[in-house]
Amino acid sequence: MAKRIFITATNTNIGKTHTTLQLMRYYADMGARVCAFKPIETGVRDEPPDACALWNLMRTLNPHTSSLHVSDVVALTLPLPAAPYVANGARIVDRTQLLERLTHLETYCDILLIEGAGGLLVPIDPEGMMIDLIALFEAKALLVTHASLGCINDTLLSLEALQSRRIPHEWVVNCRTQDSDFDHISAPYFKARFPDYYRLDEGIERLAQVLIK
């Protein structure tokens, strides 16, 4: 079984795909065969943008995947840009199909990066939420959090959800150019409570190494 890392976030548009692509490049540079999986993508009219980004880089970094199509990377696409529960009309998502797609991709790689949709408590159907897929896939979670005002609350709530379910996890702040206030608005708290916390703008190396331990 490949090493499975599930990339989630405090909300949508936080930087899951950006983080996943960075990790893919890092692990490939280490010499690992890397694959990516997007179980569910909503807001898809034609091609799934997130899955396509993962697929294109995967085929570049891992020649063994050259025969795979983007449909091998994403299991379920839905046109409405909403939670899967809503976008799929409250129909049950076939977990067996998700697991089959995951195990097929694992035959091509040593490290499998799984990108979620939205945040941890996004409902996927009447029977579960995105956080439940992390346990289903037996993956380690990486929580990506934003760096704008409110990130402390959002980060702590998401960490509490992961801890309450005993899901192994790490977390990282995606500090973007527009987040110039982070260093004096939110960073002092993170530095006090989590002295060794990770920031994407400071490099992915240390985080990438701890994720595969």
Contact yes or no for 109/2 (Cβ under 8 A): yes
Torsions phi, psi for 197 (to 5 deg):
-65, 160
| Residues labelled as active-site residues | 38
Residue spans of beta strands (DSSP E) within the chain: 3-9, 34-42, 74-78, 111-119, 123-125, 128-129, 140-145, 169-173, 198-199
Contact yes or no for 156/150 (Cβ under 8 A): no
Contact yes or no for 40/150 (Cβ under 8 A): no
